[in-house]
């Protein structure tokens, strides 16, 4: 009898494995749905919160993210179910049923996750989509607000402005970003130099932990409350809502966009000088630099945009700029006075209609993209920006965004919350490349180009380790292996995001989630020691 070819044996073996996976997936699906129905009020219609593959809304929910590159991932399976809870009890039931039937959980608030970790998984899993938990309650007298994790930054800003024209909140620029992920990763925007991060102004929270308990700040304890403000909430539980401290803003602020062609050598001189003066300017002034190339079959060039918010009047801004940054040659005609909420729309590229901040239909950032980040501690030489210009001409849609620090960021300890990038950082850099058609070749070409740019910048950015920002998630810097990654293995990427705070995050993780239920490719690992030692 002739031996059976190895290739045939392999095919049979893989067919058997695939069949087993399929059977297990169906069993997981059935058991999970049954469990949910037993936990939620029996006569409730589960179709209002639980969506499975045989239901019409399932496909749209699966693909409702802002980086379609991730939805085409070949390493992820489809979720057993997508839960859109309308209260804490439905979150608690989802966690308990997932644990009971061996499913992992992914939590999605806004869909802006750069690497798709909030909706992708290699083993059977359930997505908790927070879109129905988006209420915002403002207390102007107390200058606080409670905001649920499914709300967008735009909805938060809109709600504040409806109550007061002299209050705001120091969070991100893109209005369609979900509050849940943004706050738990740190979160910075145009008021970062005046008030610090969004997470710096969080004063309480409600979280459902791995045991299904709903905990506020007092009940979760200061260690866990510290961890979820910048350490990534998805490693520790499901954060339902946040209590934040509002900040004061003047009735009139001033904004400007000044465009400079990188073909002009003087532009490089201005950017170089920006590095030396911006972090020392008044806390009320924020000027970021966006180097961009948008190839549109016209005589386009790489340009630098100086994009600014000043928490004050035009006359005071002009006086300040003439004294501290005359190289930009800012003129009154370049500037516009407006309310703070109008400045939110201005930075988002939206018309002066605050209602546009409600929902995310106007989001301009939905596209295939890959991003990376750096922190700069020493001014970059002028010739480096010349090299960046040359590299940008190889692409069609690419951005380098430089957000200034200094100000309040210099005054807060690097261990105050897990986000450590404080004193000594001149600015944060985000590299972003976009493309139109997401086939295998396009993905390879664009990501390969971006990684080349990242290597080019290595000598000029932070070192030992080279730092990165959690909310600009980047799996290139290291990932956890499947299952339980050791603390030592995870340090490869963990200290790039968190520096010396990574050890404390792992200690908190060991204490509050010792079975490592909440995990993904870059979740906080358990510490070497057993959790009972803490």
Kindly tell me the burial class for residue 361, based on how many C-beta atoms sit within 10 Å of its own C-beta (0-12, 13-18, 19 or more): exposed
What pLDDT sits at residue 9? 28
pLDDT at residue 107, as a whole number: 95
Q: What is the pLDDT of residue 34?
A: 85
The answer to whether residue 46 is domain-embedded is no
Inside any domain, residue 259: yes
In a domain, 102, yes or no: no
pTM of the complete model = 0.91
| Residue at 144 is within a domain | no
Beta carbons of 181 and 471 less than 8 angstroms apart? yes
Q: Give the model's pLDDT for residue 41.
A: 52
Rounded-to-integer distance, Cα 423 and Cα 80, Å: 45
CA–centroid distance for 531 within its chain: 29
Look at the chain and count its residues: 534
The answer to whether residue 417 sits within a structural domain is yes
Predicted local distance difference test score (pLDDT) of residue 513: 97
Provide the b/e sequence for 14-28 (b: ≥16 CB within 10 Å). eeeeeeeeeeeeeeb
Q: Which residues are catalytic?
A: 472
Please give the pLDDT value at position 494.
98
Residue 224 lies in a domain: no
- CATH no. for residue 265? 3.40.462.20
In a domain, 133, yes or no: no
Dmax (CA) for the chain in angstroms is 94
pLDDT at residue 5 in the model: 36
Q: Which are the contacts of 400, defined by CB distance < 8 A and separation ≥ 6?
A: 290, 291, 292, 388, 392, 429, 430, 431, 432
Total domains present in the chain: 1
Burial of residue 175 (CB within 10 Å: 0-12, 13-18, 19+) is buried
Strands 104-108 and 427-435: unpaired
Residue 398 within a domain: yes
Residue numbers of the chain with a pLDDT score lower than 50: 1-23, 42-44, 362, 530-534
Give the residue numbers spanning the domain of 405.
253-337+362-457
Between CA 214 and CA 240 the distance in angstroms is 9
Element (H, E) at 501: helix 501-512
Contact by Cβ (8 Å): 142, 190: no
- Report d(CA 457, CA 392) in Å as an integer: 13
């Amino acid at each position: 009898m002739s031996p059976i070819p190895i290739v045939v044996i392999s095919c049979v073996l893989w067919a058997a494995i695939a069949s087993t996976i399929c059977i297990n997936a169906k069993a997981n699906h059935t058991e999970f749905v049954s469990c949910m129905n037993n936990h939620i009020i029996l006569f409730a219609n589960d179709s209002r919160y639980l969506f499975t593959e045989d239901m019409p809304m399932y496909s749209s929910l699966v693909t409702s993210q802002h980086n379609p590159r991730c939805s085409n991932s070949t390493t992820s399976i489809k979720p057993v179910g997508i839960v859109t809870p309308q209260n804490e009890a439905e979150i608690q039931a989802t966690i308990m049923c997932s644990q009971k039937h061996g499913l992992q959980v992914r939590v999605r608030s806004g869909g802006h996750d750069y690497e798709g970790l909030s909706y992708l998984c290699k083993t059977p899993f359930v997505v908790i989509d927070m879109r129905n938990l988006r209420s915002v309650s403002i207390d102007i007298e107390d200058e606080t607000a409670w905001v649920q994790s499914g709300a967008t930054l735009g909805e938060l800003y809109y709600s504040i402005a409806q109550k007061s024209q002299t209050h705001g909140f120091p969070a991100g620029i893109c209005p369609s970003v979900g509050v849940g992920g943004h706050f738990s990763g740190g979160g910075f925007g145009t008021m970062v130099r005046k008030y610090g991060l969004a997470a710096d102004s969080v004063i309480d929270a409600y979280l459902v932990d791995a045991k299904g308990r709903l905990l506020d700040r007092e009940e979760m304890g200061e260690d866990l409350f510290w961890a979820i403000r910048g350490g990534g909430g998805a490693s520790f539980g499901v954060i339902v809502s946040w209590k934040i401290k509002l900040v004061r803003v003047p009735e009139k602020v001033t904004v400007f966009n000044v465009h400079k062609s990188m073909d002009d050598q003087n532009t490089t001189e201005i950017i170089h000088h920006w590095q030396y003066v911006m972090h020392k300017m008044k806390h009320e002034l924020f000027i970021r630099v966006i180097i961009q190339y948008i190839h549109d079959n016209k005589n386009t060039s790489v340009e630098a945009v100086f994009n600014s918010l000043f928490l004050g009047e035009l006359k005071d801004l002009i006086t300040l700029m003439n004294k501290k940054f005359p190289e930009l040659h800012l003129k009154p005609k370049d500037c516009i006075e407006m309310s703070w909420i109008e400045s939110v729309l201005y930075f988002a590229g939206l018309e002066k209609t605050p209602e546009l901040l409600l929902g995310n239909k106007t989001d301009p950032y939905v596209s295939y993209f890959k991003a990376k980040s750096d922190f700069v501690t020493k001014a970059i030489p002028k010739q480096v920006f010349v090299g960046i210009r040359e590299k940008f001409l190889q692409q069609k849609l690419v951005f380098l965004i430089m957000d200034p620090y200094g100000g309040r960021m210099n005054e807060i300890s690097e261990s105050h919350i897990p986000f450590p990038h404080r004193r000594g950082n001149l600015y944060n850099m985000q590299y972003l490349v976009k493309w139109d058609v997401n086939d295998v070749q396009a993905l390879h070409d664009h990501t390969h180009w971006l990684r080349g740019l990242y290597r080019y910048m290595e000598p000029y950015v932070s070192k030992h380790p080279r730092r990165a920002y959690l909310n600009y998630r980047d799996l290139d810097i290291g990932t956890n292996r499947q299952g339980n990654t050791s603390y030592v293995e995870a340090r490869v990427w963990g200290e790039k995001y968190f520096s010396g705070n990574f050890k404390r995050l792992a200690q908190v993780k060991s204490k509050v989630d010792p079975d490592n239920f909440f995990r993904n490719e870059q979740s906080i690992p358990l510490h070497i020691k057993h959790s009972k030692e803490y």
